[in-house]
Amino acid sequence: MTSKHSYDEQNIFARILRGEIPNDTVTETAHSLAFKDIQPQAPVHVLVIPKGNYVDFEHFAAEASDEEIVDFVRTAGRISAESGVSRGGDGQGFRVIANTGAHGGQEVDHFHLHIIGGCALGRMLPGDKG
Ligand code: 5GP
């Protein structure tokens, strides 16, 4: 099957996966890698990426195998728990973000989740009066 998603092998997370750039690894599994964001926006700020070449959330959702998806979601869930931010654990909750494309503010074109917590994060979007 041809893909409409074009993946740039030189993106920074591809280079991290190839070991060309160091990272502060939190967890590694068969299909996923989690590491600390280099510019944390809160006390806990971990990025979770699949090892496969997926550009963004849509690409991953459409074309990743069930095994990759299960591995990725379970890894992300484990990280929030182990980072101490779980609601009902010692923490008080967190936010999961998957920026996608230009309007989503995605800077690195390798699919990633941000897991952010450790302090009150405020409303979801600037100007959100909800
Ligand atoms: P995006 O805006 O694409 O959703 O988020 C990209 C994230 O990657 C940003 O939060 C940025 O700080 C992080 N980042 C960019 N380059 C590096 C790097 O070389 N190492 C790490 N650990 N994080 C990076």
Say if pTM beats, i.e. exceeds, 0.75.
yes
62 CA distance to ligand 1 centroid (A)? 23
Q: Do residues 68 and 50 touch, judged by C-beta distance below 8 A? A: yes
The burial of 49, by beta-carbon neighbours within 10 Å (0-12 exposed, 13-18 middle, 19 or more buried), is given as buried
Does 119 sit in the ligand 1 pocket, CB within 6 Å?
no
User: On the CB side of 57, how many CA atoms lie within 13 Å of its CA?
Assistant: 11
Catalytic residue positions, numbered: 112
Q: How far apart are CA 84 and CA 104, in angstroms?
A: 27
Residue pLDDT, tens place only, 66-99:
999 999 999 999 998 899 999 987 789 999 999 9
Residue pLDDT, tens place only, 39-67:
999 999 999 999 999 999 999 999 999 99
Does 98 sit in the ligand 1 pocket, CB within 6 Å?
no
108 CA distance to ligand 1 centroid (A)? 7
The burial of 87, by beta-carbon neighbours within 10 Å (0-12 exposed, 13-18 middle, 19 or more buried), is given as exposed
